[in-house]
Amino acid sequence: MKKLAALLAVLMSVFAVTACGSSNSNKEVTPDNLASSMDQVCTDANADFEALGVRGLTNPQLALEFAGTAEVRQAVIDGFNELNLNDDAKAAIADYITASEKIIAQDKAIAKAAAADDTEAVNKAFAEQNKAFAERDKAAKELGTEVCGQKADIKVEPSGTEPPADLDYAEPKNTIEEAATDYLKGFKSGNCSEINSNRHSDAGQLDAATCKQVSTALKNATVAGTEQYGPAGQAEIVAAGTHYATAFIEDLDGVLRYSGDSINDAGGLRPATEGNDSQETVDATIAAIRDNDGAAFNKTLPDKSSGFWLDKEGQFDTFSPGKYNKPFIADVRDSDSEPVQLGLNATFGFYYFEGSKNDWVLTTIHNPGIGSHYRFSGYWPVPKP
């Protein structure tokens, strides 16, 4: 089963992050204009948080995520310190900064505990951080800020990417809008058979308990936006205020079906950050398989918890479960095909790879943390044109 990410993962980090950064204004900041000055700092650095990638799903990913948030949040405080605060403004902002420093300290504690795979310590740090967030939110309310300390707006906008005009692929029988609607319809019905019928044949089947759990979570879900990339597509599904970047890939019968999802707190369906390495990663994945280089292949993966991780170099023929692994490896090694980008956004990258009996859609995911790093996350059989 080649999931892009865990289905509706229940994560401990449920807070909303609002970005801040430095301001170059030299005007004197008094208590009267303190809130607006802080909000300008926060607005200026929104892109820093938007570039952090998806929420962590494993301890290694949590370590990356919270090392990144610590760094960006420190830039928040640095930005406040660059303001020309008079003495009264310094006194007024003190509680907000103190609470923010506590949040950063717990960012670092979470990252350290997650890196050590100490889940108990991770949970403890989250609990302490939630207290610090409550302190910061109280300070923000007293200051009257409208951006800093407030829930960030989640963006949904076109990625600006699409398959090359001359790319020959089998056109799906349904649209991404229809696929997303049917996906939610299945969960709202509560019928596990209907739910599973909307999953790609290589995405595995849900058991009754999981069907019930996710049906409850998605009972009031809506589709906030969609974008199609030929034999692949993505929907932004909103449930209980959480935005799930949800991917769909054409199945062998020509129908777009669910392939995986992840949570991107800044919005999963928007343009990818500049300077990302998605294309480089998928190219490196193909090269590593052809070179039988297990160490190089592992470097293209999100972390060791990936189902593709090779404990022993060179075991590509059994590197993942399922009936498609050997045909995929054979197609990569026996052809000179190269991955062609179908679409790329803030959460997923989709690439077309020509095979023998069928073709393939390869996927990357925007790894948590700074650096705009995308990592190889799956390969999916699609029909030939």
Taking CA atoms, 119 is separated from 7, 211, 242, in Å, by: 21, 27, 24
Question: What are the tokens at 2?
Answer: 């080649």
Q: For the chain, what percent of residues have pLDDT higher than 70?
A: 92
pLDDT at 47 over 90: no
pLDDT at 300 over 50: yes
The DSSP element (H or E) to which 339 belongs, if any, is none
Q: Which of 38-52, 93-107, 164-178, 270-284 has the lowest mean pLDDT?
A: 38-52
Three-state DSSP class for residue 344? strand
pLDDT of residue 169: 97
Count, residues in the chain: 385
pLDDT of residue 22: 45
d(CA 129, CA 66): 12
What's the alpha-carbon Rg for the chain, to the nearest Å? 22
| Alpha helix positions (H), 241-380 | 278-290, 294-298, 325-334
User: 28-67 burial string, b = 16+ CB within 10 Å, else e?
Assistant: ebeeeebbebbbbbbbbbbebbbbbbbbbbbbbbbbbbbb
The DSSP element (H or E) to which 79 belongs, if any, is helix 59-81
54: pLDDT confidence band, cut at 50, 70 and 90? very high
pLDDT of residue 120: 95
Q: Which residue has the tokens 């991955």?
A: 339
Q: How many CA atoms lie within 13 A of 10 on its CB side?
A: 4
Question: What are the tokens at 83?
Answer: 């303001």
Give the residue, 362 or 5, on which the prediction is more confident.
Answer: 362
Nearest by Cα to 211 from 265, 258, 150, 141: 258
8-35: per-residue pLDDT in tens?
A: 333 333 333 344 444 445 789 999 999 9
Nearest by Cα to 235 from 256, 220, 254: 256
pLDDT at 94 over 50: yes
pLDDT at 339 over 90: yes
Question: What are the tokens at 39?
Answer: 């909000």
CA 163 to chain centre: 22
pLDDT at 322 over 90: no
What's the mean pLDDT when you consider all of the chain?
Answer: 89
